Amino acid sequence: MTEITRLDAPLVVGAGVAGLTVALGLPQAYVLTTQDMGSTWWAQGGIAVAWSPDDSPRQHADDTLSVSGGLGVERVVDLLTHGGPAAVENLIAIGAQFDRDEDGGLMLAREGGHRTRRVLHADGDATGAEVMRALIAAVEAGDRVTVIQRRAIDLVMAGDRVIGVVTSEGKKREVLLAPAVVLATGGAGRIYSQTTNPAGVTGDGIAMAGRAGARLADLEFVQFHPTALHVGKDPMPLLTEALRGEGAILVDAHGRRFMPQYHPMAELAPRDIVARAIFWQYDRGLGGAYLDARSIVDFADRFPTVNAHAHSVELDPSEHLLPVSPAAHYYMGGIDADSNGRTSVPGLWAVGEASSTGVHGANRLASNSLLEGLVFGARTSADVATSLVAPDGEPFAPKEAFDLPLVAGPALEDLRQIMWDRVGLVRTGPGLWEARSHLLELDSVLRRTIAGRVALELSLMVILAALRRSESRGGHYRADYPEPDPMQEHRTLIDPTRAQMTAVS
């Protein structure tokens, strides 16, 4: 018998910036989270927001749209950038502390694709940690949010409606039923062997929404951060783009600067362009890539997180070149959701990196994702609060949710390598087909565990979407179709077949 508990308030799955913002905006909420820390904690660069008197939400929207490969949805982008200043004020009101200048004004950094300085930061390069500290303090200061430490495995349905979640605590399974379910489970960087994403960022929410038949969007668009420290660590330590905003340059092994030949904005070109340039440096044997940050004064004070990462491998950014490589970083694809977090399935909302609203199009503007969590998190709670339906009807869930162990074996590492080699920054039709057939060879092994099944299902959907897009745009580059095709300037929507469900008993 599976234990079934009825919750009297919405259930938010995930406790990063998006999940906690949703929960704090509700009169009562439950938050389901694991021990894994999630990506928000690791965010270095900051929060992009039109804060300076010389800037405006319109200019922020224009920069967001201009790097989006033609797929950014203007209406949604406008909501993001116009909602930015108020979202940041709310965060400051609950205690978040951002770096300030001598006059007490907020300091603004510049990152790739931004035509002006508009990135707020905290403790130099530890913005995500400060945002989380403030949000957790707000949760702890009240009694409206109850945190449940457990892993979500699958959604529970009654007819066409999501009414809850199957959870796991070790081998034990328990079903939680709730009047609304919000997935704020983050991205899927760990389906790649090279990623900046920590353990747990495995696309679980996206895969479980797909098994419930929720429409997914833009799955081919993975963002690779250009500069992860290339020293054999997993996850790869991030070297924030703000370093380039402060004058760090990219050079090859002979110290020659290479970005000006790729783009007029050089090191501050849009992220996909810098990432691919670094990829070519290795792939074409052009002498690799190093970040030269030696010109930045007071490095250790201004970038303490990066400084610590570098020193942990005996590199001193004030003296040494830092070897860099691109790494899977952010997922533009995800659960198709509108600007209130509504998905195609009643009872289910999605927000933050797990969702795909069109706000980033094919390529996200740097430091727009914490803002996304704040702005769309607040909009989602407002919508959820007016749409609660007490769970009713016989609960069903995918059968495997109850049978399989959680943790994947070594085949998951094979999958991650295949995805990096064939479905990474530069893709080709034959390479994508090859990846698909390698993954299908691993199918039966991967499907023996929950984690393996999630990674397999999501990876196959990424490959399918990448095969369907026979052009290059934003984060999706096909060497066999290197140009954008105006006929394909539209988002990719996929309606997955709902998994076979079994009655929960």
Residue number, 241 or 272, with CB nearest to ligand SIN: 241
> Which range binds ligand SIN by CB under 6 A, 77-85, 131-139, 336-344, 365-373?
365-373
Least distance in angstroms from the C-beta of 172 to ligand SIN: 36
Instruction: Check residue 130 for interaction with ligand SIN (CB under 6 A).
Output: no
When binding is defined by CB under 6 A, the residue of 307, 367, 381, 492 that contacts ligand SIN is: 367
Residue 366 contacts ligand SIN per CB under 6 A: yes
Count other Cβ atoms within 10 Å, centred on residue 142.
8
Q: Give the Cα separation of 321 and 110 in Å (integer).
A: 21
* Interacting residues with ligand SIN between 157 and 216 (CB under 6 A): none
What is the number of the residue whose Cβ is closest to ligand SIN?
45
Instruction: Number of residues interacting with ligand SIN: please give it, by CB under 6 A.
Output: 10
Q: What angle is formed at CA 399 by the lines to CA 394 and CA 402, rounded to 5 degrees?
A: 100
SS3 of 358-374: the string is CCCCCCCCCCCHHHHHH
Name the residue type at position 173. R
Query: Among 14, 16, 45, 431, which residue sits at the site for ligand SIN (rule: CB under 6 A)?
Result: 45
Q: Which is nearer to ligand SIN, 45 or 452 (CB)?
A: 45
**Omega prior to 264 cis, within 30 of 0:** no
Four-CA torsion 452, 457, 462, 463, nearest 10 degrees: 90
Q: According to the binding rule CB under 6 A, does residue 492 interact with ligand SIN?
A: no
The 3 state secondary structure assigned to 431-477 is: HHHHHHHHHHHHHHHHCCCHHHHHHHHHHHHHHHHHHHCCCCECCEC
CB 336 within 8 A of CB 493: yes
**How many angstroms separate the Cα of 131 from the Cα of each of 199, 296, 353, 371, 381?**
20, 25, 16, 11, 18
The CB-of-62 to ligand SIN minimum distance in angstroms stands at 18
**C-alpha distances out from residue 181 to 29, 138, 184, 381, Å:** 10, 22, 10, 11
- Pick 324 or 499: Cβ nearer ligand SIN: 324
Output 167 or 369, the one with its CB closest to ligand SIN: 369
Site stretch for ligand SIN (CB under 6 A), options 164-172, 198-206, 249-257, 362-370? 362-370
Asked if 271 and 227 count as a contact pair (C-beta separation under 8 A), the reply is no
Distance (Å, rounded) from C-alpha 149 to C-alpha 288? Answer: 43
- Of 212-220, 239-247, 409-417, 447-455, the window that binds ligand SIN (rule: CB under 6 A) is 239-247
Least separation in angstroms between residue 44's CB and ligand SIN is 4
- Return the number of the residue (240 or 381) whose C-beta is nearest ligand SIN: 240
d(CA 376, CA 349): 11
Residue among 483, 467, 368 nearest 427 (CA): 467
Q: Which is nearer to ligand SIN, 196 or 459 (CB)?
A: 196
Residue span binding ligand SIN (CB under 6 A) among the ranges 235-243, 262-270, 378-386, 387-395: 235-243
Which H helix or E strand runs over 130?
helix 127-141
Cα 475 from Cα 187, distance rounded (Å): 15
What binding mask, one character per residue, do residues 5-44 give for ligand SIN by CB under 6 A, x or -? ---------------------------------------x
In whole angstroms, how close is the CB of 137 to ligand SIN at the nearest point?
23
Alpha-carbon distance 150 to 34, whole Å? 5
Pairing verdict, β 493-494 and 216-217: antiparallel
CB closer to ligand SIN, 203 vs 210: 203
271 labelled catalytic? yes
Interface residue with ligand SIN among 204, 241, 336, 471 (CB under 6 A) is 241
Q: Does 240 bind ligand SIN (CB under 6 A)?
A: yes
In which element (H, E) is residue 273 found? helix 271-283
Instruction: Closer to ligand SIN by CB, 42 or 420: give it.
Output: 42
Whole-number Cα distances in Å, 74 to 18, 63, 86, 165, 485 = 21, 11, 19, 33, 20
CB of 139 vs ligand SIN, minimal distance in Å: 24
Q: Write out the two tokens for 226.
A: 């250009």
Q: Which of 110, 190, 211, 271 is catalytic?
A: 271
Least distance to ligand SIN, CB of residue 469, Å: 23
Site for ligand SIN contains 323 (CB under 6 A): no
| Backbone angles phi and psi of 496, in degrees to 5 | -70, 155
Among 28-36, 62-70, 238-246, 309-317, which window interacts with ligand SIN (CB under 6 A)?
Answer: 238-246
> Does 369 contact ligand SIN by CB under 6 A?
yes
CB of 240 to ligand SIN, least distance (A): 3
Q: Which residue carries 């430091």 as its tokens?
A: 367
Measured from the CB atom, the residue of 9 and 371 that comes closer to ligand SIN is 371
Which range touches ligand SIN (CB under 6 A), out of 163-171, 236-244, 256-264, 337-345?
236-244
Q: Provide the minimum distance between the beta carbon of 146 and ligand SIN in the complex, in angstroms, as a whole number.
A: 31
How many residues are given for the chain? 505
- Closer of 121 and 473 to ligand SIN (Cβ): 121
Does residue 373 touch ligand SIN according to CB under 6 A? no
Contacting residues toward ligand SIN, per CB under 6 A = 44-45, 240-242, 329-330, 366-367, 369
Which residues belong to the active site?
271
